[in-house]
């Protein structure tokens, strides 16, 4: 139960920081991306566990991902210019793909 509580707290922190910054959509988008990553992680753990004993590796990776997103959200709150640079890079990347 503790890993789930840590992950939920990190997800709530990401959404809360997005709301504090006045951009709740960013927090929701980061949370959606994190949920997709959790799904891919669960699928890969399911497949790998058929061949190798993975133990609780997927749980620790999920906690690390959630904590990383939470730290990124907090850092974005403290350094908004870095977030703007990230947004510009993402826009340029999306223009190239379109």
pLDDT at 98 over 70: no
What are the residue boundaries of the structural domains of the chain, listed by start?
A: 2-97
Place of tokens 């890993």: 3
pLDDT at 54: 86
pLDDT at 72 over 70: yes
Residue 97: band (very low, low, confident or very high) from pLDDT cuts 50, 70, 90: low
Higher pLDDT, 39 or 93: 39
pLDDT at 96 over 80: no
SS3 sequence, the chain?
A: CHHHHHHHHHHHHHHHHHHHCCCHHHHHHHHHHHHHHHHHHHHHHHHHCCCCCCCCHHHHHHHHHHHHHHHHHHHHHHCHHHHHHHHHHHHHHHHHHC
Q: What is the pTM of this model?
A: 0.75
Higher pLDDT, 79 or 36: 36
């Amino acid at each position: 139960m503790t890993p789930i509580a840590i992950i939920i707290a990190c997800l709530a922190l990401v959404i809360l920081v997005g709301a504090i910054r006045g951009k709740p959509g960013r927090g929701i988008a980061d949370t959606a991306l994190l949920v997709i990553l959790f799904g891919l992680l669960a699928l890969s753990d399911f497949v790998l566990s058929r061949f190798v004993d993975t133990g609780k590796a997927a749980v620790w990776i999920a906690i690390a991902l959630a904590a990383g997103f939470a730290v990124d959200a907090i850092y974005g709150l403290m350094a908004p210019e870095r977030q703007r640079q990230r947004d510009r890079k993402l826009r340029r990347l999306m223009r190239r793909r379109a």
